[in-house]
Each structure stands twice: as C-alpha cells, then as structure tokens.
Amino acid sequence: MRSLPEADPGVPDIRSPLRYLWWNARRQAVPLLAGIGYASLWWLVQALMPTVLGKGIDAVTAKDTRALLVWSAILFGLGLVQAFTGIMRHRSAVYNWLAAAYRTVQLTSRQAARLGATLPKRLTTGEVVSVGNSDIAHIGSSMDILLRGVGSILAIVTVTVILISTSLPLGLLVLFGVPLMAVAVGPLLRPLHRRQQAQRELAGELSTRAADIVAGLRVLRGIGGEQVFAARYRTESQRVRRAGVGVAGVESVLEGAQIVLPGLLIAIVTGVGASFAVAGDIPTGQLVAFYLYAVFLIGPMRTLTEAADKLTKGHVAAGRVIRILSLEPEITGGTGLGEGGVLRDSYSGVTLQPGTLTAVAADVPGDAIAIADRLGRYTEGDVTFGAVELRTLPLEQVRSRILVADNGARLFNGRLRDELDVRGTATDAQLREALEAACATDIVEALPDGLDAQVAEAGREFSGGQQQRLRLARALVTDPEVLILVEPTSAVDAHSEARIAERLAKARSGRTTMVCTTSPLVLDRAEHVIYVQHGRVLAEGTHRQLLDGCPEYTATVTRGED
C-alpha cells in the first residue's frame, strides 16, 4: 500500500459539509475510483453466482455431465475473482478511509497553526479535540462506504435485469421493492442527523470541562473544590449519556429496518418464485437461483442503509471541520520589509531601545500584558519596528524576530532536549547556558536521563516553578531579536528570582529584551524601567530613580509597604 498523500498547502475555501466531502473525494479520485471498480466487480461476481449455481443444478437434473463440469469451472473462476476483488476492495477501502481521515487532520492542524491565538478565542478545546477523536473516523467512513455503496447499486441493477429476463413479475417486484425500502428508511435520517449533532456538541462541551478540571486539579484540591466540580462533570456527562441513548434509539430502529425490510422482500420474492416452480413455469435450478438472489439482496440493501447512516454521520462531522476551516485569523501580516530597530507601542508610549533590557511595571498587570500582545502582534495596535509599521511585515517574520513568552506557554510530551530546542539548532553548550541563566540546571540534573528524559503531557511531573524556569530556558535558547517576557519569575522563590534577574541581564546583553513584572528584584536589574498607569506611560528611568521620584510606582512595586 502506498503512503498517504499530503494535504494541499493552505486551507481550502469550502463553506458547506457536502462540499467538503466532495472536495475530499476529488483529492483522492484515483484510489477512490479504483476502489469503486474493485467493489463493483466484487458485487457483480457475487450477483452472477446464483445464476451459475442454478444452471449447475439444472445440469444435475438433466444428467448432463459436460454441462455440469462447465458450470462448475465457471463457478470456481468466479470464486477466484471474488477473492481477489474482495481483497483489493478492502485494501482500497482502508486506504481511502485513512486518506480522508488524515487529510482532515492535516488540514485542521494547519488551520490551527494559521489561526494561532485566534483559535482558543473562537472555539473550545473540546470542539477541536473531538475532530481528532471521532469526526475523522466518520469522515473516513463516508469515503469508505462510497466503494461498497456504488457497487451495491450495480449489484441490485444486475440482479433486477437477470430476474426480469427470467421472470418479468419477479424482476418488477425487485425493481419496485428496493426503492420503496429506501423511501421507508428516509424518515429516520433527519432525526438521526439532528440527535447526532446535539450529542456531538454536548460531548465537545464535556471534553472542555474535563480538560479544565485536569488542568486545575491542583488548585481544586487546594481549595477543596473537587467534589463540586466532580458533581458538575457528573451532571454534564449524564446529559451526554442521555443524548447518546437518543442517538442509539434511532440507530437501533435503522439497524432493525436493515433486517426487517430486506427480509420482507426476500419472503415475497421466494414465495412468488416457489409458486411459479410449483406451476411448472420455471425449472428447479431457477427456483434455487431466485432464492439465492433473494438472500443475496440482503447484502447490497443493507449496504445502502449503512451508506445513508455513515454519510449522515460524515455530514455532521464535516460540519464541525468546516466550522474550524471557516475561521479567519484576527491578525494578518503584510508583505513589507524591515531591518528592525526601536520597537514602539504608540498607544501606551512604551519604547524598547535596541540592545537594552527594559522592564515594564503596570498598576494593573493586564495593561502590561496588553502592551506585550501589541508589541508581539497578537492583537492589533499602532506599533512601529524601526522605520516601518509592524502590521506591514509578514506574520512569519514577526514571529521569528519577536518572541512573547508568557506563563500560558505549555510543555509538550517528548524529550526535554526537544522541548527546550524547538528549532533543533542549539548545541549542548547553548542549552547549558540557557538552563544556567534560568536557574534550571538543578531540574535537569535531577532527571535520570538529563536532557534526554521524557517530558509527560503538559510537563505535569514538574512543579509550577520548575515549569516556569524551563519555559524561560526555552525562550532563551530560541534567542530572538526581541524577547518579551511576561512575569517570568512569578512562581519561583526570592533567591531563585534574584539569581534569574542577574543572569538574565547577562544572557541577553546587547539584545532587546522587555520584562513585564512588578518584582523589585527584577526591576533593580533592568537597564531601563517604564511605569504604566491606566495603560499609558507615566514615568521612566531606573528602578531607584522611580522609587525616589514616582510615588505611584513605589506603591505598585512595594505593594503599599514601606
């Protein structure tokens, strides 16, 4: 089996679930058509077998040895063709399932990277996670069922033609019976679609609740809130369970219809055929063939109802994918060029001089964070970088040159070395220097495998202070042109904070650095301090100059204490 194809670069402009499924089918048209060909031939061979078997029985009845050998050889050949096409059909089905499912994963992953900070503002974690948990399976199944669905239609048409050519009443019975069964199943699809959509939305909300509880478990234990949130989760999970039972109720009726309706048609076809055989209108071999055709029709007709079910689920899943793909980033870049220089936020007046360690202290911490977001172009703002406006630069260039590191950054699962060196270009010496500057050397030394140790999901084996120091080391390893740190020492003790403040100044010597903090230990090490009140610069200078000349600054950084 060949390797799976890569998704096209960028995100397709598709605004409806049906168009997305059609787009996916066109992207894998060749393997999909090959699979449909194998499936059609597989069904067609099975559709011919009852006729061949009936001819063989007629040869036995007529004691025609030569005819019996001929029909036996034909039946054996059909069996070999069925085995080969069955294997190839299954291989094609698996390939198309995987291609559609993982193309969806590729597209949503690229869209998530493209949206960046916009994604968590527009969608919950559960909605995004559910795409990878369940929706890709339904989209893959919708591609898979196309193979057998098209083949089953061909098989029904073939059987109908054979029956009409043999017996017009039986052929017409099948010809009109199959559409009637399809129409009978139709009313079940709309409530199934509606209930599936509601159940998926509730499941996404429950996933979000679970992620929030796991992320805040330590805090919940500290304040004794475990039971309260456990009760909330229990209540919401019961809502999901009831919604799932509602979906299962409709699906059970649909599954029952897949058995009852074909069974009724089989009984009618078999009864009419038996009456014709008793009357002498058809030979014994044809009666056996009619019965086998009636039994055979169960397969293609169940496949059609299965196709309706899976395409409905695929439609719902595609709708969730389209919701993600239709989002547009709040922040976009331009095509300009810039050589860097002074980074200035016009609204607040904060100005970062090249090669200077600048600290920004705000009376409201959120104002400092807002300034950092504007300077890093995570929100819109009138920001200049050297002689050009920041908005005119390509977003990729901004991200590579200006790094905003806050405490919302995560540690991912994998080797610690890879977590710290995200670009894969740092040497061991550079890693050690960054760890030393972040006072994180002791963390690595305590690990059995050092930098090659495996980090658990979200770095849960590390304390809050350890995670903060490792995140700082990662930012220092990246070594951007402009580094903006948001409260990088808020979770460490005073001794570690003093060492980090001293080492940070040395590690970033000669490069532009901004630290958003109200820690006197860090402010005292900064070359330049800017005090922001009500979102605007109120005073500038060194830490000690501001302590002597700005009462508002003194009150902020000393927490109102002498």
Q: Using H for helix, E for strand and C for coil, what is the string for 258-288?
A: HHHHHHHHHHHHHHHHHHHHHCCCCCHHHHH
Name the band, by pLDDT with cuts 50, 70 and 90, for residue 241.
confident
Selected residue with higher pLDDT from 68 and 176: 68
Name the band, by pLDDT with cuts 50, 70 and 90, for residue 371.
very high
Name the band, by pLDDT with cuts 50, 70 and 90, for residue 249.
confident
Percent of the chain with pLDDT over 90: 36
Convert the pLDDT of each residue in 290-302 to its tens digit.
777 777 877 887 7
Helix/strand/coil for 486: strand
Convert the pLDDT of each residue in 374-391 to its tens digit.
999 999 999 999 989 999
Convert the pLDDT of each residue in 384-428 to its tens digit.
999 899 999 998 899 999 999 998 888 888 899 998 998 888 998
Whether residue 451 lies inside any domain: the answer is yes
Q: Give residue 231's pLDDT.
A: 78
Same domain, residue pair 355 and 231: no
Residue 412 maps to which CATH number?
A: 3.40.50.300
Lowest mean pLDDT among 148-152, 154-158, 266-270, 544-548: 266-270
Lowest mean pLDDT among 255-259, 447-451, 498-502: 255-259
Whether residue 3 lies inside any domain: the answer is no
Selected residue with higher pLDDT from 394 and 124: 394
Q: Could you write out the three-class secondary structure of 217-258?
A: HHHHHHHCCHHHHHHHHHHHHHHHHHHHHHHHHHHHHHHHHH
* Local structure of residue 552 (DSSP, 8 states): H
Selected residue with higher pLDDT from 196 and 371: 371
Same domain, residue pair 221 and 289: yes
Distance CA 132, CA 101 (A): 9
Same domain, residue pair 402 and 276: no
Q: Give residue 112's pLDDT.
A: 85
Whether residue 9 lies inside any domain: the answer is no
Structure tokens at 337: 């060029």
For helices 298-325 and 168-215, angle between their N-to-C axes, nearest 10 degrees: 40
Same domain, residue pair 358 and 398: yes
Residue 13: pLDDT above 70? Answer: no
Residue 53 maps to which CATH number?
A: 1.20.1560.10
Q: Give residue 4's pLDDT.
A: 47
Helix/strand/coil for 199: helix
Residue 535: pLDDT above 90? Answer: yes
Same domain, residue pair 318 and 367: no
Q: pTM of the predicted model, to two decimals?
A: 0.66
* Local structure of residue 439 (DSSP, 8 states): T
Residue 562: pLDDT above 50? Answer: no
Structure tokens at 343: 């980074």
151 in Cβ contact with 36 (< 8 Å) = yes
Mean pLDDT of the 225-238 span: 76
39 in Cβ contact with 147 (< 8 Å) = yes
Name the band, by pLDDT with cuts 50, 70 and 90, for residue 435.
very high
Lowest mean pLDDT among 36-40, 73-77, 90-94, 558-562: 558-562
Distance CA 261, CA 281 (A): 27
Mean pLDDT of the 301-307 span: 80
Name the band, by pLDDT with cuts 50, 70 and 90, for residue 64.
confident
Selected residue with higher pLDDT from 484 and 103: 484
Name the band, by pLDDT with cuts 50, 70 and 90, for residue 225.
low
Helix/strand/coil for 513: strand
Percent of the chain with pLDDT over 70: 91
Same domain, residue pair 537 and 425: yes
Residue 434: pLDDT above 80? Answer: yes
Q: Give residue 2's pLDDT.
A: 45
Residue 348: pLDDT above 80? Answer: yes
- Provide the domain limits for residue 518: 343-558
Residue 203: pLDDT above 50? Answer: yes
Helix/strand/coil for 507: helix
Distance CA 445, CA 438 (A): 14
Whether residue 332 lies inside any domain: the answer is no
* Local structure of residue 382 (DSSP, 8 states): -
Lowest mean pLDDT among 43-47, 354-358, 432-436: 43-47
89 in Cβ contact with 42 (< 8 Å) = yes
Distance CA 175, CA 164 (A): 9
Convert the pLDDT of each residue in 206-220 to its tens digit.
776 776 666 665 555
Q: Give residue 135's pLDDT.
A: 85
Q: Give residue 126's pLDDT.
A: 67
Helix/strand/coil for 141: helix
Q: Give residue 194's pLDDT.
A: 75
Whether residue 232 lies inside any domain: the answer is yes
Distance CA 185, CA 305 (A): 7
Whether residue 10 lies inside any domain: the answer is no
Q: Give residue 281's pLDDT.
A: 73
Q: Give residue 310's pLDDT.
A: 86
Nearest to 490 by CA among 472, 513, 509: 472
Task: Show which of 326, 353, 373 is a domain's final residue.
Answer: 326
Task: Show which of 270, 299, 326 is a domain's final residue.
Answer: 326
Whether residue 333 lies inside any domain: the answer is no
Whether residue 11 lies inside any domain: the answer is no
Same domain, residue pair 46 and 191: yes
Same domain, residue pair 222 and 368: no
Task: Show which of 326, 359, 379 is a domain's final residue.
Answer: 326
Sign of CA dihedral 344, 345, 349, 355: negative
Name the band, by pLDDT with cuts 50, 70 and 90, for residue 1.
very low
321 in Cβ contact with 128 (< 8 Å) = no
Selected residue with higher pLDDT from 115 and 208: 115
Selected residue with higher pLDDT from 203 and 432: 432
* Local structure of residue 13 (DSSP, 8 states): -
Mean pLDDT of the 90-94 span: 91
Convert the pLDDT of each residue in 328-337 to its tens digit.
888 888 888 8
Residue 12: pLDDT above 70? Answer: no
Mean pLDDT of the chain: 84
Q: Give residue 468's pLDDT.
A: 93
Same domain, residue pair 117 and 76: yes
Residue 251: pLDDT above 80? Answer: no
Same domain, residue pair 154 and 278: yes
Domain count, the chain: 2
Same domain, residue pair 215 and 306: yes
Straight-line distance from the first to the last Cα atom of the chain, in angstroms, rounded to the nearest whole number: 74
Residue 196: pLDDT above 80? Answer: no
Same domain, residue pair 313 and 403: no
